[in-house]
Amino acid sequence: MYFYVIRNLALVSSLFLAISSSLHADTLNKAMVDAFNNSAELNIQRATIRETDEKVAARVAAKRVNVQAKQNVSSGYSFSMSCGGFCNSTSAGLSIEASSSILDGGRSDIEILIAEAQVKIERSLLVEAEQSVLLAAVKAFMDLRRNMEFVALEKNSVKLLQKEVQAAQDRFTVGEITKTDISFAESRLEAAKGKLANQLGLLEISKEQYQMAIGRAAGDLKNPPPLPEIPSTLEVAKSISSKNHPIIFNLKQAVLISELGLDLSKANYRPTFDVSGGLSDSSTTGKLSANVSVTGKAILYTGGSRSSAERSALTAVQKARSQLLHQSKIIRQGVANRWAQLNIARALIVANENQIRAAETAYRGVKDEAEFGLRTTLDILDAEQSLMAAKVQLASTKRDEYVAAYELLKAMGLLTAKNLNLNVKQYNVTKNYDAVKNAPRNSQFFKLDNLLKRWGQ
């Protein structure tokens, strides 16, 4: 009976520990999700998008009728014989005025299109910010895992060297080696302790960087998942980057804006017509008056300033197109660089694994040979250091492989929560735009603001 009770308690304890461990498990996927949800950078860019949405609303509002009311009250004294001296006179008036543009040569429509293109640029910058946030999360996760492994390796190295120092002292006692061999071992031990202290400091730094990138402290880091899917060839990767990279999209919108700017400069040659009218009532006359006027304007000569503006706009178009071409080449080169770095890391991993196997064999062989006096203490220490260096290099190259893979995704414009199937709530960039693009009144806006708060936007 006692045996069964103990066994059940052990099972319950094991289950509790397993559940507790899973609750504190920190995976790469979870780190990216938390980085996305906790990012102040993304919140700032989302606010910038909403701010830019209002530029469209402002341009739409500028096309509408402008109505304003005016009221004036005046009082004064004037000398008059009719009242035998200074007379008080008071008058009041009320007027309502309205004005609107009938024809502006297409200027207002062009300005609306420019504002809409600026909104698209800000939305694309949100994608670029999202890529940066997720890449920072990957780097923070992999850097912390690498530094934790470095600390574990250095601790193990210190333990091994402590044993080597003790073994050297034992061999010195029986006269197999000299005091010099002990000094060699002690020197390597102190060097290893210094490296361990350095790695512990770097580990603390990486923990702080992790908290900054993810928005919380690190938990129990688990092994990262398999690498994300990568295109089969470099040319395919370059082609994807040309279609998906947010910077390319931004520059295409910049070309469109410059072309619209050229159209706007040409619109300055066209005439404009405005209509205005008003109603006024004055206590002085006691009559209600009304007026309507239509005003047309055509600029005949400006001393060449319009032609200068048009030439400047044409140059801006050429500049924007050149920037698009130049940046496209830079992005394609960046894809090639990331592709090469990924292949380098993979080749180094294979080489490091082979190096570790060979170094382990050599280390065991040197220790065995030392027992028969064929190897010195220095030989053992050199073999241990070679094995240690190979393990450190392997930990570093595994980190480089993951980072290079995700940097390649970013270079292609694919490092997004949607493409990685992250379980996050995507920000709807069109919800606020659709609500404000027609320039709603303040009362309508406040209703909208309340709805956005309910939606968590």
**Model confidence over 87-98: pLDDT tens digits?**
766 667 787 888
Res 12: pLDDT? 44
Sole residue written with tokens 């004055």: 282
How many Cα atoms within 13 Å fall on the side-chain side of residue 57?
18
Largest distance between two CA atoms of the chain: 139
Which pLDDT band holds residue 202 (cuts at 50, 70, 90)? very high
Q: At what angle do helices 179-214 and 377-412 cross, to 10 degrees?
A: 20
Which pLDDT band holds residue 450 (cuts at 50, 70, 90)? low
Res 20: pLDDT? 42
Task: Identify whether the C-beta of residue 117 lies closer than 8 Å to the C-beta of residue 256.
Answer: yes
Separation between Cα atoms, residue 257 and residue 52, nearest integer Å: 15
Separation between Cα atoms, residue 313 and residue 24, nearest integer Å: 58
Between 84 and 35, residue with greater pLDDT: 35
Separation between Cα atoms, residue 446 and residue 328, nearest integer Å: 43
Domain range annotation of the chain: 25-65+105-274+305-447
Between 443 and 429, residue with greater pLDDT: 429
Q: DSSP assignment, residue 224?
A: P
- pLDDT exceeding 90 applies to what percent of the chain? 59
Between 287 and 403, residue with greater pLDDT: 403
In degrees, to the nearest 5, what angle opens at C-alpha 338 toward C-alphas 337 and 341?
Answer: 90
Separation between Cα atoms, residue 45 and residue 122, nearest integer Å: 8
Taking the model in full, what pTM does it have?
Answer: 0.84
Sole residue written with tokens 């064999």: 361
Res 208: pLDDT? 96
- pLDDT exceeding 70 applies to what percent of the chain? 86
Separation between Cα atoms, residue 127 and residue 47, nearest integer Å: 14
**Model confidence over 329-357: pLDDT tens digits?**
999 999 999 999 999 999 999 999 999 99
H or E element, residue 89 = strand 85-103
Mean pLDDT, range 384-398, rounded to an integer: 92
* Average pLDDT of the chain, as a whole number: 87
Res 88: pLDDT? 67
Res 5: pLDDT? 46
Whether residue 52 has pLDDT greater than 60: yes
Q: What kind of architecture, by CATH, is found in domain 25-65+105-274+305-447?
A: Up-down Bundle (1.20)
Which pLDDT band holds residue 277 (cuts at 50, 70, 90)? confident
Res 184: pLDDT? 86
| Per-residue CA distances from 138 to 24, 155, 413 (Å) | 18, 26, 16
**Model confidence over 149-160: pLDDT tens digits?**
999 999 998 998
| Per-residue CA distances from 202 to 145, 209, 394 (Å) | 12, 10, 18
SS3 label, residue 240: helix
24-50 exposure pattern, b = at least 16 Cβ within 10 A, e = fewer: eebbbbbbbbbbbeebeebeebbeebb
Res 282: pLDDT? 66
Whether residue 256 has pLDDT greater than 80: yes
Between 446 and 173, residue with greater pLDDT: 173
Separation between Cα atoms, residue 25 and residue 195, nearest integer Å: 28
Which pLDDT band holds residue 374 (cuts at 50, 70, 90)? confident
Separation between Cα atoms, residue 71 and residue 69, nearest integer Å: 7
Whether residue 443 has pLDDT greater than 90: no
SS3 label, residue 211: helix
Res 297: pLDDT? 87
Tokens of 185: 């071992």
Tokens of 212: 């900054």
| Per-residue CA distances from 340 to 106, 343, 347 (Å) | 51, 5, 11
Res 349: pLDDT? 95
Mean pLDDT, range 166-179, rounded to an integer: 84
**Model confidence over 213-255: pLDDT tens digits?**
999 999 999 999 999 999 999 999 999 999 999 999 999 999 9
Res 25: pLDDT? 79
Task: Identify whether the C-beta of residue 37 lies closer than 8 Å to the C-beta of residue 213.
Answer: no
Which pLDDT band holds residue 114 (cuts at 50, 70, 90)? very high
Sole residue written with tokens 């947010």: 246
Tokens of 207: 């923990």
Whether residue 199 has pLDDT greater than 90: yes
Whether residue 3 has pLDDT greater than 50: no
